[in-house]
Amino acid sequence: MLVSTPPPPSPDTVSSPIPAATLERFLADIGPRAFRFAEAGLRQREDALDAVQDAMMKMLAYADRPAEEWTPLFWSILRRRIVDLQRRASFRLRWLLPTGDRGEEGPVDWAPDLGAGPSQAHDQREAYARLVRALRGLPARQREAFTLRVLEELDVADTARVMGCSEGSVKTHLSRARDALQKQLEEFR
């Protein structure tokens, strides 16, 4: 019995190891959460949009990386971009800005469950707005640890890699964030 081996694929038929559509789907899925994360850190919608867009553009250079590395890599890129924008904002000449241009909370962009009634939708918007205010009140490292561990469900090792600190530091920041949030949101329960 003669067994033939298939001919090697021609360069025209070889596809990239990770299709672009997969990376596009990853970015589309993570985009809304990344925007909320950036907006909580930057407190300005336009800055948050810029940060997320920049992080997504930088992710395109890592399309050849395995898909399981994308999540911590993306959050690490976004976090660095947020820190850069925060540093720039601290150096701006604030006295030249008209009052109210910085530091005010913008409207909460959140769509309630379409099946919810008006009262329940209002309660959901109120709960989300309180959570956002409480998160904004946390120190940056605590906010990052809470968002990445609890909201994004990254494990401790990935969160530490994204934040550029030890796993013990992540646990400490997360514990402090949970304590502070519990105190701030206790009366809302």
C-alpha distances (whole Å) from 30 to each of 59, 101, 137, 152 are 12, 28, 24, 9
Chain centre distance of CA 32: 8
118-189: CATH topology: Arc Repressor Mutant, subunit A (1.10.10)
Q: What tens digit of pLDDT does each residue of 14-69 get?
A: 444 445 568 899 999 999 999 998 988 888 889 999 999 999 999 999 989 998 88
What whole-number distance in Å separates Cα of residue 189 and Cα of residue 187? Answer: 6
Domain extent listing, the chain: 17-89, 118-189
Q: Please determine, looking at this structure, whether the domain spanning 17-89 carries the CATH number 1.10.10.
A: no
At residue 94, φ and ψ (nearest 5 deg) are -65, -25
Q: Which residues, including other chains, have CB under 8 Å from residue 185's CB and lie 6 or more apart?
A: 130, 131, 134
What percent of the chain clears pLDDT 70, i.e. is strictly above it? 72
Instruction: State pTM to two decimals.
Output: 0.54
Kindly report, residue by residue over 115-135, the tens digit of the pLDDT.
556 777 777 778 778 888 888
- Predicted pLDDT at 56: 94
Query: Is pLDDT of 105 > 50?
Result: no
Phi, psi of 91 (to 5 degrees): -95, -10
CA–CA dist 152, 33 (Å, integer) = 8
